[in-house]
């Protein structure tokens, strides 16, 4: 028999032997017989290479390799068939029975939105600044350019304490505290609880704000606009349109109300947006030079922008919560649905 | 504030489409929030911000429209015929306070009070004002035309006749037009005649001097009152009127005269009156001073981030009344018009206006849409630390992963509930809210638990079989003490189905959650038996970190609950975090050997003593040990308990032998038996 014919015969022989294998022990025997390091058939054929006449060596080499591949893949197939079949059937399992889930908690919708905002601004190099919830008139109003007995204060119905202090009506006092402590460049977010003397379906006496502040040399109104575009498109989706229109806040000059396309009707007009297609989402502006000066920052050298947004309304919007009071019921049936 | 399109059209030619008008006004900072078409008119709801009292009337809004649409403004010019009788001979005006920097009076004689003509009725009704009679309607019309509040007195009822502007004296009172009798505290700014108070300056007139059907001669008051004086008076009396709303925001001193003339003209025309010769005026320009400022066009462009065409910038400032005069290469010297004084009021001392305040005028007229959006150069991250925020996020993630849901409650609560739980050190008198919304919100919380317990009850009442909530929030310990950030958890119950194989929450589940929370912050939680208020006796303990009390834990007495409820509160500061995570220890590559010891001991021997004893025995290669089981009952003497402890031995460099382990176990058994074994 020529070496090549012999190889063809071996190939048939392997298939025949493999067909007989029924358990892992027989499989192991087969493997050693064919692929064993010392006496395996395949190894012996490989070693026989040098005995083949030179003119047949090329064909022989290829045929031996084919045999080797055939044995290897045959053994692998056999193995997977044997291991699958080897699992003994103990009882019929009704796999449609419910799985046992670990109890998973949830993070409050407002905290979720806050975390997203922080993440977005983290990428723009902002840090998060903190401040107390009980404030003085100075930090909550005076330093923010609300003069005493000014009607602008009427827009911020205030809870007063018995000792002349008050509950902050916005997170802006944190901006003042930061600007008094540090020199520009400053890029911060302030977020937390805020309080206003108001309680109905649309207003809660406690709510949450996030504010941003950037103060440096050469900050322009265009930078405010660019930052808000970047932020709001990340928060509400890239298709969101952003509109700034002039407004008034005592602590910014000029000021802007910022609208985004209504997240319910996408700008077509619906009940939520009073048919305008826009939702008022944020107030912003260039930091008033009086505010900078009051914090010891030279307004001729530095400029800055600031913006503020209610987190509760964004959360209600995102999760379809109809009424702000529902946010603070802490109904676990609702909270556990909030997954991201 | 509501405006009529037809009324606006009296002073400026409007674009054909009201939507276009609304869009431009909105883009210029006068947000049109609603359009209602009716009876051939359009009612426009415009949000006028508090700094723009000049736009709280039709003429003022028309001025903005004229500039935005490049059209001329047509203000009404009063054409008056005056009689030979001099007004100065009829009435005397005395200003006894600096709080009235301008008082213009006119007299119109021989009027007939009656219904208003159709156009006047319609015009007022279009903006929701009720027509009363021609005299009242005319004053109202001029208010909504010019923004200047007007009062008309029945001249015959004024003693003197004299008008004095002064502050109320002790014991004075006035019955106002609405029929209310009002006791005046001293200091309220009033109008008086020779004998008594006849009106509340800038707020409301009095009923005794009001114009009636019998009135023949009227005195027209068109004055400017100090806005703080009006605001304080209105506050003290609990009043808010169209007039006080405007005076509090500040008016246009120059409008006093033009509005008085306008009223006189209309009274002559519509009520058949004769205007007497001359208006009485008492201008005090020093009260207002002047407001000027310079806009540098290059700085304006840099500030906005846009290149505005110079001519157009000048056009806007001119149209808005700022009278731009070139100064230097790129400067414009601006003078603030009288109707905008109050927007620049904070610069009254120096008279020099900040450029940013003036920039705004040009920027809003161009509209913010034309400003290109750009991001500032990023540079290095902000120098501040976000540590406190990150830590809060990690607490949230840790507790949520333990099956707890985050609650957020109000930071205030009921006084009687506030003291139910111990609170965290230091605990002072509760901080009271001076103007609470209700008794539910009267003090700032000194503990998170009362409100969190309410949240648990909310869920219980809705049939919850398990409650697992946590909250992170500030406590207000009282006095001058800083706010304390606290973390609280409340939990109880279990899934009601056997399939879920859940045990009801017990003290050790909550403790375990807190332990794992501490572990995440590289800390170790210890406890010490205690009796914190509000907890079931015998169930409570104090939480310690590094030897200091940082909180408490226990079972809450909660009659509403069908299952036991457990709660804990701790100071978030106890969850300190190292800057860098601790390095991990490489596990041994050699097999471990485990062995148990069961010790029978008195029930009052605490586990922590056993732990300590094991530590003190100092056996080698003990990788870990812990509680495997506790058993009391059959086979265990009364008063004793069986505690089974597992031990795991492992060496870093070799396989231990069973003999070595047996030796260690024998030593431990001896030690434990000797110190704590049941003696019978």
CATH of residue B552 = 3.30.930.10
Mean pLDDT of the region B522-541: 91
B479 touches chain A (CB under 8 A): no
Same domain? For B556 and B424 the reply is yes
In a domain, A95, yes or no: no
Q: Which CATH number does the domain housing residue B618 bear?
A: 3.30.70.380
Same domain? For A22 and A68 the reply is yes
**From A187, which residue of chain B is nearest by alpha-carbon distance?**
B382
d(CA A44, CA A218): 81
Q: Which of A98, A105, A332 sits opposite B401 (nearest CB)?
A: A105
In a domain, A14, yes or no: yes
**Is the pLDDT assigned to residue B575 strictly greater than 80?**
yes
Extract the runs of DSSP E, i.e. beta strands, from B134-247: 151-154, 162-167, 173-175, 181-183, 189-192, 197-200, 204-205, 218-224
Same domain? For A71 and A184 the reply is no
Mean pLDDT of the region B540-555: 94
Inspect the interface and report whether the beta carbons of B303 and A286 lie closer than 8 Å: yes
pLDDT in tens, B609-655: 999 999 999 999 999 999 999 999 888 999 999 999 999 999 999 99
Q: Which of A102, A223, A246 sits opposite B364 (nearest CB)?
A: A246
Residue numbers of the domain that contains A116 = 109-335
Report which of residues A269 and B229 the model is more confident about.
B229
Domain count, chain B: 5
What SS3 state is found at B65? helix
Inspect the interface and report whether the beta carbons of B434 and A127 lie closer than 8 Å: no
The DSSP call for residue A101 is P
Q: How big is chain A, counted in residues?
A: 340
B580 touches chain A (CB under 8 A): no
**Is the pLDDT assigned to residue B479 strictly greater than 80?**
no
d(CA B82, CA A138): 54
| Domain boundary, last residue among A86, A119, A151 | A86
| Domain boundary, last residue among B257, B287, B317 | B287
Q: Which of A130, A161, A257 sits opposite B434 (nearest CB)?
A: A161
Same domain? For B330 and B430 the reply is no
Distance between the two ends of chain A, CA-based, in angstroms? 72
Q: What is the CA radius of gyration of chain B?
A: 40
| Domain boundary, last residue among B308, B337, B370 | B370
pLDDT in tens, A52-93: 888 888 888 888 888 889 888 888 888 888 777 655 556 778
Q: Which CATH number does the domain housing residue B62 bear?
A: 3.30.56.10
Residue numbers of the domain that contains B523 = 387-574
Can you give the pTM of this predicted structure? 0.83
Q: Which CATH number does the domain housing residue A233 bear?
A: 3.30.930.10
Same domain? For A207 and A286 the reply is yes
Distances (CA, A) of B523 to B136, B488, B519, B576: 76, 17, 5, 7
Distance from CA of A84 to the nearest CA of B (A): 29
For residue B376, list chain A residues with Cβ-Cβ distance below 8 A: 214, 216, 218-219, 223, 226-227
Same domain? For B280 and B321 the reply is no
Give the phi and the psi of residue A79 in degrees, each rounded to 5: -60, -50
Are A274 and B396 within 8 A, CB to CB? no
Same domain? For A64 and A25 the reply is yes
Same domain? For A159 and A26 the reply is no
Cis peptide before A185 (omega within 30 of 0): yes
Please, what sign has the CA dihedral across residues A329, A331, A332, A336?
negative
In a domain, A38, yes or no: yes
Of B388-392, B397-401, B504-508, B584-588, least confident by mean pLDDT is B584-588
Same domain? For A146 and A217 the reply is yes
Q: Number of helices (H) and strands (E), helices first, in chain A?
A: 11, 9
- Which candidate, A1, A41, A39, A38, places its Cα nearest to that of A18? A41
Same domain? For A162 and A216 the reply is yes
Are B191 and B165 within 8 A, CB to CB? yes
For residue A316, list chain B residues with Cβ-Cβ distance below 8 A: none
Of A33-42, A287-296, B321-330, B549-558, least confident by mean pLDDT is A33-42
Q: Looking at residue A87, what is its pLDDT? A: 58
Same domain? For A163 and A45 the reply is no
Distance between the two ends of chain B, CA-based, in angstroms? 89
For residue A199, list chain B residues with Cβ-Cβ distance below 8 A: 437
Same domain? For B273 and B249 the reply is yes
| Pair of tokens at residue A206 | 């406690």
Same domain? For B353 and B440 the reply is no
d(CA B268, CA A264): 56
Report which of residues B452 and A51 the model is more confident about.
B452
Cis peptide before B426 (omega within 30 of 0): yes
Q: Looking at residue B51, what is its pLDDT? A: 87
| Pair of tokens at residue A71 | 């044995």
Of A275-279, B83-87, B190-194, B288-292, least confident by mean pLDDT is A275-279
Q: Which CATH number does the domain housing residue B95 bear?
A: 3.50.40.10
In the stretch 607-626 of chain B, residues with CB closer than 8 A to chain A read none
Q: Looking at residue B603, what is its pLDDT? A: 92
Inspect the interface and report whether the beta carbons of B302 and A98 lie closer than 8 Å: no
d(CA A3, CA A18): 22
In a domain, A137, yes or no: yes
Calculate the average pLDDT of chain B.
Answer: 93
| Pair of tokens at residue B604 | 């009052």
Domain count, chain A: 2
Same domain? For B263 and B408 the reply is no
Which residue is listed with tokens 């692998």?
Answer: A76
ipTM: 0.86
Inspect the interface and report whether the beta carbons of B444 and A254 lie closer than 8 Å: no
Give the phi and the psi of residue B182 in degrees, each rounded to 5: -120, 125
Same domain? For A120 and A38 the reply is no
d(CA A85, CA B86): 120
| Domain boundary, last residue among A51, A86, A121 | A86
Are A248 and B50 within 8 A, CB to CB? yes
Same domain? For A219 and A133 the reply is yes
In a domain, A169, yes or no: yes
Distance from CA of A25 to the nearest CA of B (A): 29
For residue B455, list chain A residues with Cβ-Cβ distance below 8 A: 329-330
Same domain? For B186 and B268 the reply is yes
Q: Which of A97, A105, A214 sits opposite B403 (nearest CB)?
A: A105
In a domain, A25, yes or no: yes
Same domain? For B357 and B415 the reply is no
| Domain boundary, last residue among A71, A86, A101 | A86
In a domain, B455, yes or no: yes
Q: Looking at residue A86, what is its pLDDT? A: 55
**Is the pLDDT assigned to residue B17 strictly greater than 80?**
yes
d(CA B25, CA B27): 5
pLDDT in tens, chain A (340 residues): 677 788 888 888 888 888 888 888 888 888 888 888 877 888 888 888 888 888 888 888 888 888 889 888 888 888 888 777 655 556 778 888 889 888 889 999 999 999 999 999 999 999 999 999 999 999 999 999 888 777 777 777 899 998 889 999 999 999 999 999 999 999 999 999 999 998 887 889 999 999 999 999 999 999 999 999 999 999 999 999 999 999 999 899 999 999 999 888 888 888 777 777 888 999 999 999 999 999 999 998 999 999 999 999 999 989 988 888 899 999 999 999 998 8
Are A308 and A172 within 8 A, CB to CB? yes
Q: Which of A134, A226, A256 sits opposite B431 (nearest CB)?
A: A134
Convert B473-522 into a string of H (helix), E (strand) and C (coil). Answer: EEECCCCCCCCEEEEEEEEEECCCCHHHCCCCCCHHHHHHHHHHHHHHCC
In the stretch 491-510 of chain B, residues with CB closer than 8 A to chain A read 499-502
In a domain, A93, yes or no: no
In a domain, A104, yes or no: no
Instruction: Give the strands of the sheet with B151-154, arranged side by side.
Output: B82-86, B274-277, B102-109, B218-224, B151-154
Same domain? For A80 and A228 the reply is no
In a domain, B580, yes or no: no
Distance from CA of B303 to the nearest CA of A (A): 5
In a domain, B486, yes or no: yes
**Is the pLDDT assigned to residue B378 strictly greater than 70?**
no
Same domain? For A185 and A73 the reply is no
- Report how many Cβ contacts below 8 Å link chain A to chain B: 249
In the stretch 438-467 of chain B, residues with CB closer than 8 A to chain A read 441, 444, 455, 458-459, 462, 464, 467
d(CA B140, CA B211): 14
């Amino acid at each position: 028999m020529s070496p090549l014919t012999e190889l063809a015969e071996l190939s048939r022989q392997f298939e025949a032997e493999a067909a007989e294998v029924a358990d892992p022990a027989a499989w192991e025997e087969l493997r050693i017989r064919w692929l064993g390091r010392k006496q395996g058939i395949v190894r012996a054929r490989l070693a026989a290479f040098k005995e083949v006449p030179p003119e047949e060596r090329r064909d022989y080499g290829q045929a031996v390799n084919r045999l080797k591949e055939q044995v290897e893949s045959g053994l692998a197939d056999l193995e997977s068939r044997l291991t699958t079949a080897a699992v003994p059937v103990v009882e019929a399992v009704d796999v449609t029975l419910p799985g046992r889930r670990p109890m998973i908690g949830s993070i409050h919708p407002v905290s979720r939105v806050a975390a997203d905002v922080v993440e977005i601004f983290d990428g723009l190099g902002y840090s998060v600044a903190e401040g107390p919830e009980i404030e003085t008139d100075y930090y909550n109003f005076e330093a923010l350019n609300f003069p005493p007995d000014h009607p602008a204060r009427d827009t911020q119905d205030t809870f007063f304490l018995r000792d002349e202090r008050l509950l902050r009506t916005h997170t802006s006092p944190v901006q003042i505290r930061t600007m008094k402590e540090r020199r520009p460049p400053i890029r911060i977010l302030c977020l937390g609880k805020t309080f206003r003397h108001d309680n109905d379906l649309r207003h809660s006496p406690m709510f949450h704000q996030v504010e941003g502040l950037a103060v440096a040399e050469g900050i322009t109104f265009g930078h405010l606009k660019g930052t808000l575009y970047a932020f709001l498109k990340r928060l509400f989706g890239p298709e969101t349109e952003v509109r700034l229109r002039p407004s008034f806040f005592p602590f910014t000059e000029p000021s802007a109300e910022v609208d985004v396309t209504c997240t319910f009707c996408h700008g077509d007009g619906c009940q939520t947006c009073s048919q305008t297609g826009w939702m008022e989402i944020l107030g912003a502006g260039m930091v008033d030079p009086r505010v900078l000066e009051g914090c010891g920052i030279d307004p001729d050298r530095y400029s800055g922008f600031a913006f503020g947004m209610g987190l509760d309304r964004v959360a209600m919007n995102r999760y379809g919560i109809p009424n702000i009071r529902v946010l603070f019921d802490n109904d676990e049936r609702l909270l556990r649905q909030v997954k991201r | 504030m509501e405006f009529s399109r037809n009324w606006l059209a009296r002073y400026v030619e409007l674009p054909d489409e009201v939507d276009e008008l609304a869009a431009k006004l909105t883009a210029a900072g006068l947000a049109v929030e609603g359009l209602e078409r009716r009876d051939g008119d359009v009612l426009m709801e415009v949000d006028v911000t508090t700094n723009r009292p000049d736009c709280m009337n039709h003429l003022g809004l028309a001025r903005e429209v004229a500039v935005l649409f490049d059209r001329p403004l047509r203000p009404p010019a009063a054409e008056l015929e005056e009689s030979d009788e001099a007004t100065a001979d009829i009435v005397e005006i005395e200003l006894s306070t600096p709080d009235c920097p301008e008082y213009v009076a006119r007299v119109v004689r021989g009027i007939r009070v009656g219904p208003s003509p159709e156009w006047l009725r319609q015009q007022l009704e279009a903006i929701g004002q009720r027509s009363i009679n021609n005299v009242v309607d005319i004053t109202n019309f001029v208010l909504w035309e010019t923004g200047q509040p007007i009062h008309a007195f029945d001249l015959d009822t004024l003693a003197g006749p004299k008008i004095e502007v002064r502050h109320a004296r002790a014991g004075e009172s006035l019955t106002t037009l609405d029929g209310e009798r009002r006791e005046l505290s001293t200091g309220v700014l009033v109008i008086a005649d020779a004998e008594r108070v006849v009106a509340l300056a800038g707020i409301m007139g009095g009923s005794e001097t009001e114009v009636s059907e019998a009135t023949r001669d009227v005195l027209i008051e068109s004055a400017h009152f100090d806005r703080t004086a009006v605001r304080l008076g209105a506050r003290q009396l609990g009043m808010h009127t169209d007039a006080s709303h405007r005076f509090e925001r500040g008016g246009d001193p120059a409008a006093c005269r033009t509005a008085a003339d306008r009223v006189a003209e209309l009274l002559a025309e519509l009520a058949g009156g004769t205007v007497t010769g001359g208006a009485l005026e008492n201008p005090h320009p020093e009260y207002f001073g002047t407001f000027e400022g310079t806009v540098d066009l290059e700085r304006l462009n840099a500030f906005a981030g846009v290149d505005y065409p110079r001519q157009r910038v000048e056009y806007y400032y001119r149209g808005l009344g700022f009278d731009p005069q070139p100064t230097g290469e790129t400067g414009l010297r601006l003078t603030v018009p009288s109707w905008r004084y109050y927007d620049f009021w904070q610069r009254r001392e120096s008279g020099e206006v900040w450029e940013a305040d003036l920039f705004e005028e040009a920027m809003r007229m161009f509209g913010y849409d034309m400003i290109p959006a750009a991001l500032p150069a990023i540079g290095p991250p902000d120098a501040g630390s976000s540590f406190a925020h990150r830590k809060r996020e990690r607490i949230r993630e840790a507790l949520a992963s333990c099956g707890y849901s985050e609650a957020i409650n109000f930071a205030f609560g009921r006084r009687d509930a506030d003291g139910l739980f111990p609170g965290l050190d230091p605990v002072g008198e509760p901080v009271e809210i001076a103007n609470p919304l209700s008794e539910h919100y009267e003090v700032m919380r000194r503990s998170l638990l009362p409100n969190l317990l309410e949240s648990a009850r909310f869920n219980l009442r809705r049939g919850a079989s398990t409650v697992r909530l946590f909250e992170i929030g500030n406590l207000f310990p009282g006095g001058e003490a800083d706010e304390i950030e606290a973390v609280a958890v409340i939990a109880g119950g279990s899934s009601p189905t056997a399939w879920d194989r859940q045990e009801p929450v017990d003290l050790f589940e909550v403790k375990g959650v807190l332990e794992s929370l501490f572990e995440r912050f590289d800390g170790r939680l210890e406890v010490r038996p205690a009796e914190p208020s509000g907890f079931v006796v015998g169930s409570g303990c104090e939480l310690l970190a590094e030897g200091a009390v940082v909180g408490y834990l226990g079972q809450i007495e909660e009659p509403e609950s069908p299952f036991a409820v457990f709660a804990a509160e701790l100071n978030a500061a106890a969850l300190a975090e190292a800057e860098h995570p601790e390095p991990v220890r490489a596990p041994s590559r050699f097999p471990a050997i485990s062995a148990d010891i069961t010790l029978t001991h008195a029930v009052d021997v605490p586990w922590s003593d056993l732990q300590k004893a094991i530590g003190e025995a100092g056996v080698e290669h003990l990788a870990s040990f812990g509680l495997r089981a506790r058993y009391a009952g059959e086979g265990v003497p009364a008063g004793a308990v069986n505690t089974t402890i597992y031990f795991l031995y492992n060496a870093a460099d070799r396989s231990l032998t069973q003999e070595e382990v047996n030796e260690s176990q024998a030593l431990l058994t001896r030690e434990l038996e000797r110190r704590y074994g049941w003696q019978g």
